[in-house]
Structure 1
Amino acid sequence: MHRCHPIKAYDLRGHVDDVTPQLARSVGEAFAYLTEATTIVVAHDMRPTSPALADAFAAGVTATGTDVMTLGLASTDQLYFASGTLDLPAAMITASHNPASDNGIKLVGPGASPIAQDTGLEDIHTYLHTGRLPNQSSARQAPASAGRVHPADLHNAYIHYVRGLVDLSGIRPLKIVIDAGNGMAGHVLPDLLEGLPLSIVPLYFDLDGTFPHHDADPMTPANLTDLQAAVVGSGADLGIAFDGDADRCFILDEYGAPVPPCALLAWLAARLLARRPGSTVVHDLLTSAGTIEAITEAGGIPVRSRVGHAFVKLAMEAHGAALGGEASGHYYFGDFWHADSGALAALHVLDALGHSNQTVSHATAPFRRYSPSGEINRRVRDAPAVLKAVEKAFEGRGFIDHLDGLSVSLGSGRWFNLRPSNVDPVVRLTAEAPTEQGMGELRDEVLKVIGADE
């Protein structure tokens, strides 16, 4: 049915020339058949193409006889709130942190349960090409009548719920700079932070999916320069940056230095475990060894997960985890349907800092114990062959596992992970060691086996 489709491992995302209203309509139709729900929730972000995609998706859903509840403009975690509260499947039109030229669709099941490649997206892929879901013996009959579209406003209910999850009473006055990146954080934060003893310096709160100042991707250092300058220039206690759909947040300390997401996870975990000892904290396998040590030292139970929101959520559900995190800046909360929320993570940071006399740099310093490489991408012709070559080179030197790609633990805090991309001829290397020199030596040793970019 479609020449090209941009279905990825966890969502559907790509250039707007490929993510068309026609595609969105077909995905909506497939999603309705897949979930067999009576109603599906639909929301969209601020990108120029998002309203038309949301309308087309809704049209595909209603064509099956299924009703649609439309939220209009919303952050991704507002959609999760709707899915969790109403126990309905939901679709978010967004390309998250991707550039303005892209758009996409995130799908979740009832209760904000993850839908990924092996839990629905592959079935939708089949439908796009065949007009049928797997195991469907014949074409479906047209419904007796089309579904109906019901607008709904859950914004205030979301604000009330999220504020109720974090006790911010009694926090000390703080000066913070927030870079909303012209994304959905600008839609959520004014109401979420209202009434708190905060002096806020706002950057780019206007909703503008053309991203006139910088891409809404805080993982890229160049996109943090405005925030860093504002933190230092205003003498703020911290800076907070959000991605386009506000499901991730990144923290800068009082010097404008980014706090590694792994250190932030450890800080939040330590505070949680002081109140709820014995809780489980899920972390992805790219998380620093220092974070895992900190969770254990605080009386928590660390659980290792594959990279990706679907895997982290599933691990959290399986273990009844109170908190989860990824090295990419996603933070998941047991009391938020095990889903990720940049806004909720930011509130927990304000709670931690506001009830402490420490600065951000001092509070997070104990959790920066090792030297990470960050993610290094290399283009290769044959990713499986590269992984086999690297595994052979390190055979007998440490513990090897294949939970997600190739992970090698060499002892004394030295480890690396090498994963193939789900969509590109690329392998992604992450390494860590106790010192910068040790990390560099390990990184370079692995890269030598991988070889030069193809």
Structure 2
Amino acid sequence: MSETRGTAERIVGAHGIRGRVPDELDQGGSYRAGAAFALLTGVPVIAVAHDARGCSPALADAFAQGVLDQGADVLDAGPGPADCLTYLCGYLEVPGALVTAGQGPGAPHGIRLCGPGAVPVAEGSGLEAIRARLAGPRPPMAELPGSVVPAPVLDDYACHLRSLVDLSGIRRLKVVVDAGHGMAALTAPRVLHHHAVELVPVRFERPGARGGQTTGDLAQWVRRAGADLGLAFDAGADRCRAVDEHGAPVPSAAVIALVAARELARRPGAAVVHDLITSRSAVEAVEAAGGIPLRCRVGRSAIRSLMAEQDAAFGGGHAGRYYFRDFWCADSAMLAALHLVAELGQSGRTLSQLAAGHDRYPRSGEIGVRVEDPVAALHRVTAHFAATAALDHLDGVTGEFGDGSWFNVRAARTAPLVRIHVEAEDPAAMEVLRDRVLGVVTASAASARSAR
């Protein structure tokens, strides 16, 4: 990695380090990031983990060497998903780093950092110091280097998750798990190990190969196996998608509703955080279960921060991320999956029956529109809907109408792109509102081009 300030500015974002290998992030850059993190935390022990994709193991080794050369010991957690590191940093109260890769060929690698107690290290809580050190000279080595301490965490992590969800008395279930050749191949057999659960593994070979959530393929496996539930994890096991016994996708709104109800049964009247593009059906389910829904910006840091501030029992994101108070307010796809297994096994109903009614409102899904000036597009949306919708600017522009329909338009962080979400009472109304919002956004782009 170049030692220029420009490179440091590019790869150190608001929530972590992210760059293409080797042009922006190489082993030398990862080494310096490890050294910078050791200097920032000033602690004697730092945990390091990685996924098994691409260059992740080599970058993690380099990061660890940077820590060691500053005199701190390294707890080597080896390969595992992000929530394994969350468990280690939360349980042992040590800072840590996870080296991971994005989806798809050529996707950037990244380094996620957290402090003791699994508190994220972000802009304003240390990342700016990391950025400054990466742009500066290479730090001198400590007189006495640290030592590597093996920290196999998978079994302890699995035991901790199982301690949070009661599986006693569940009926026999057949569960298909598609690991996507990723980290779930290491964790699912441990976490879902139970005498009443028959696990059907799919794509468990070669952890580290590029893989994704292919709910279409999963549906076929579920139907073929006669399974009660199908779970598809992304390669990092960060996100989980579910399908029911018919192979039909279970929307994230239904998962939020089901898991929130379980958490609220343990903490009646507690808050539940959701991002502002979560379906209204999930919000209504939280209210029906006696919870207090709290709306926040999209993204991990926003959900975790509000959960910690309000002592919320649970948090849900529209994109299949689920956050738990009892898991340091962090997200854990495997813990959400465990809750689904428990709910399905204890209810005596099928998953399609459990999910019914929790996805009542037609949605557009995310629509990405490239524009030359995203800020101008948002201003145009605001001006167009100011007289007909209740607008807010918590994250982009959200408009709510008297009939319950709503839209949100947000600017992408790293590209000239806006992201549009629309939800309404019925398909026709959704399509009308969707096309209206799209028309305003694209008119904004056309106006910008004609004004040049």
Deviations 1:192-245 (A, max 9, x none): 22233122221111233232xxx32x2xxxx22221111122221111011122
Alpha-carbon distance, 1:277 to partner = 1.5
Q: Supply the distance in 1 between the matched residues of 2:227 and 2:373 (Cα, whole angstroms).
A: 48
Name the residue aligned to 1:400: 391
CA contact (8 A) 2:101 2:107 kept: no
Is 1:422 aligned to residue 436 of structure 2? no
Is 1:113 aligned to residue 119 of structure 2? yes
Alpha-carbon distance, 1:316 to partner = 0.7
- Going from structure 1 to structure 2, the CA distance change for 1:393 and 1:101 (only over 3 Å counts) comes to closer
| 1:295-314 pair list within 5 angstroms | 295-314=286-305
Letter of the 2:98 counterpart: M
Alpha-carbon distance, 1:354 to partner = 0.4
Name the residue aligned to 2:245: 254
Name the residue aligned to 1:385: 376
Name the residue aligned to 1:42: 48
Letter of the 2:357 counterpart: P
Name the residue aligned to 1:316: 307
Alpha-carbon distance, 1:322 to partner = 1.0
Of residues 13, 20, 42, the one that matches 1:15 is 20
Name the residue aligned to 1:361: 352
Name the residue aligned to 1:273: 264
Alpha-carbon distance, 1:417 to partner = 1.1
Name the residue aligned to 1:193: 192
Alpha-carbon distance, 1:253 to partner = 1.1
Alpha-carbon distance, 1:129 to partner = 2.1
Of residues 18, 32, 49, the one that matches 2:38 is 32
Name the residue aligned to 1:236: 227
Is 1:56 aligned to residue 47 of structure 2? no
Alpha-carbon RMSD across the aligned residues, in angstroms, is 1.9
Q: Supply the distance in 2 between the matched residues of 1:115 and 1:441 (Cα, whole angstroms).
A: 42
- Going from structure 1 to structure 2, the CA distance change for 1:69 and 1:97 (only over 3 Å counts) comes to same
Alpha-carbon distance, 1:100 to partner = 6.2
Deviations 1:230-268 (A, max 9, x none): 112222111101112212211111121211112210111
Partner SS, residue 19 of structure 1: coil
CA contact (8 A) 2:323 2:332 kept: yes
Deviating above 6 A after TM superposition, structure 1's stretches of 4 or more consecutive aligned residues are none
Name the residue aligned to 1:6: 11
CA contact (8 A) 1:96 1:243 kept: no
Q: Supply the distance in 2 between the matched residues of 1:324 and 1:47 (Cα, whole angstroms).
A: 28
- Going from structure 1 to structure 2, the CA distance change for 1:9 and 1:427 (only over 3 Å counts) comes to farther
Is 1:445 aligned to residue 444 of structure 2? no
Partner SS, residue 335 of structure 1: helix
Deviations 1:151-191 (A, max 9, x none): 21222221211111100011111111110001100011112
Letter of the 1:174 counterpart: L
CA contact (8 A) 2:183 2:208 kept: no
- Going from structure 1 to structure 2, the CA distance change for 1:207 and 1:9 (only over 3 Å counts) comes to farther
Alpha-carbon distance, 1:26 to partner = 1.8
- Going from structure 1 to structure 2, the CA distance change for 1:272 and 1:178 (only over 3 Å counts) comes to same
Q: Supply the distance in 1 between the matched residues of 2:129 and 2:377 (Cα, whole angstroms).
A: 30
Alpha-carbon distance, 1:39 to partner = 1.5
- Going from structure 1 to structure 2, the CA distance change for 1:99 and 1:413 (only over 3 Å counts) comes to farther
Gap regions ≥5 residues in structure 2: 447-452
Of residues 60, 67, 77, the one that matches 2:83 is 77
Q: Supply the distance in 2 between the matched residues of 1:121 and 1:380 (Cα, whole angstroms).
A: 30
Name the residue aligned to 1:412: 403
Alpha-carbon distance, 1:99 to partner = 4.3
Alpha-carbon distance, 1:406 to partner = 1.3
Is 1:375 aligned to residue 375 of structure 2? no
Name the residue aligned to 1:149: 148
CA contact (8 A) 1:114 1:314 kept: no
Deviations 1:89-119 (A, max 9, x none): 1101112545465422111111111223343
| 1:117-266 pair list within 5 angstroms | 117-131=123-137, 142-211=141-210, 215-216=211-212, 218=213, 223-266=214-257
Alpha-carbon distance, 1:362 to partner = 1.3
Partner SS, residue 357 of structure 2: helix
Using the size of structure 2 for normalisation, the TM-score is 0.92
Deviations 1:374-423 (A, max 9, x none): 11111111111110011100012122111111111123221111111111
Name the residue aligned to 2:449: none
Alpha-carbon distance, 1:14 to partner = 3.8
